[in-house]
Amino acid sequence: MPTIDTAHPPQLMLRVVNPALRTALRIPGLGSALKDFMVVEYTGRKSGRRFSVPVSAHHLDGDLYVILEAGWKHNFADGAPADVWFGGKKTPMQGQLIKDPATAAAIAHRVATEYGPKKAQRSMGLRFTGSTVPSLDEFTEAAGRTHLAAIKLTPRS
């Protein structure tokens, strides 16, 4: 059995919670109280459609990251503009997909270590078999198996 696996909330819950988060994160007073979340708005690279996705916000060395294995990550493979709602404010940003498993694993491991095992599992959409944060090697194995990646978001000038 793998040490790390993906764990997502039920679809029904997401259908209820995501629209509420999209709205709440845009409200200055309320959005600033929800510092663990952000909304990433981007244009699909193939469809040209605009998407608005609530996700967990992960901070590392002053940078903002999305950690995910979801297919929409590929919209950022060559770098792409995004509008990010965080703390009740909209910021134009550039997203860059980090899909190299070792690099994505190192980012995810550092974030998980800062959070501790309970918050890491809750906010990163992961499940650990033990009661501690898994090792970097275990994160690297999981990144290769689950296609875990990171999107680094930096402000556009």
Closest among 69, 77, 73, 88 to 7, alpha carbons compared: 69
Start-to-end CA span in the chain (Å):
46
Domain boundaries, position 115: 4-155
- Are residues 57 and 138 in contact, defined by beta-carbon separation less than 8 angstroms? no
Closest among 105, 37, 116, 42 to 72, alpha carbons compared: 42
What are the pLDDT digits (tens) for 19-61? 988 988 888 877 667 889 999 999 999 999 999 999 999 999 9
What are the pLDDT digits (tens) for 70-129? 999 999 999 999 999 998 899 999 999 998 999 999 999 999 999 999 999 999 999 999
Provide the CATH number for the domain around residue 19. 2.30.110.10
Percent share of the chain, pLDDT over 70: 98
pLDDT in the model for residue 1 = 65
Domain count, the chain: 1
